[in-house]
Amino acid sequence: MKRLFLLTLISLAITTLYGLPFIGFEMGLSFVINAENTAAPNPIILQEFGLTLPLLVEGIFYLDTGLLLAGGWYQYLGERALWADIERADTIWALSLQLNMGVGIKLDISDNLQLGATLGPALIFPFPLFANDAGSQYLEDMYQFFYTKLKFFFVYQEIFLRWLVLSEFNLTFKLRTIYPLAALWDLPEISRLNGLTFQGLVSLELKLGE
């Protein structure tokens, strides 16, 4: 059922391709603040791959969606799923699917450069898939941890610089901060900055309507 849910989310994203002005292929790095002492060293660095699917890019305002995939190792300790080094026993590798929808404003600063800012919600769904040693016994516990108390709900803000390279494609550089709202009501002894994420992305945007 959980894998079916993942496939459904990806299918919905793909079906939105029809009629889009462009599609962006993204890659970059995420730096996740890890304030839990028993987990992996701080920060956690993840490699990201994904897509940008703009729903509206009329005038100076726009509405777009994004999808990013990243993978990382976790360990279930003290009834919590913690970031872990692969060398630890009973670790579980999880694929994280990040979906974001933002509204923003963009301004032309030259004939081939645009500057913009975006704000909106982001949903991050970790899917524990592969276990080392006896880690498989904690798969269900991890699912329950990730999907309770709105731990999958985030807010993000982004600034970007878009370079209009050719009539066929753009190159866009993005900087994001992503904050987990659950950090506001999580365990009081854990820093409110736990899970705060900084993303740096490069997006190759292929124009579909040209």
pLDDT digits (tens, 9 = 90+) for 62-81: 888 899 999 999 988 888 88
Q: Where are the alpha helices (DSSP H) in the chain?
A: 2-15, 139-146
Question: Pick the residue with more confidence: 22 or 104?
Answer: 104
Query: What is the distance between the alpha carbons of residues 170 and 168, in angstroms, rounded to a whole number?
Result: 7
DSSP conformational letter for 143: H
CA angle 68, 203, 50 (to 5 degrees): 15
Q: Is residue 182 a contact partner of residue 193, using CB atoms and an 8 Å limit?
A: no
d(CA 126, CA 181): 16
Q: Rg for the chain (alpha carbons), in Å?
A: 18
Instruction: Write down the pTM of the prediction.
Output: 0.83
- Return mean pLDDT, the chain: 85
Mean pLDDT along residues 143-170:
91
Q: Summarize the confidence of residues 142-167 as an average pLDDT.
A: 92
Q: Give pLDDT tens digits for 87-116.
A: 777 889 999 999 999 999 999 999 899 999
Domains in the chain, please, with CATH? 2-207 (2.40.160.20)
Residue 13 has pLDDT above 60, yes or no: no
Q: What percent of the chain stands above pLDDT 90?
A: 46
> Is the CB of residue 30 less than 8 Å from the CB of residue 69?
no
Q: Give the HSE-up count for residue 197: Cα atoms under 13 Å, Cβ half-sphere.
A: 27
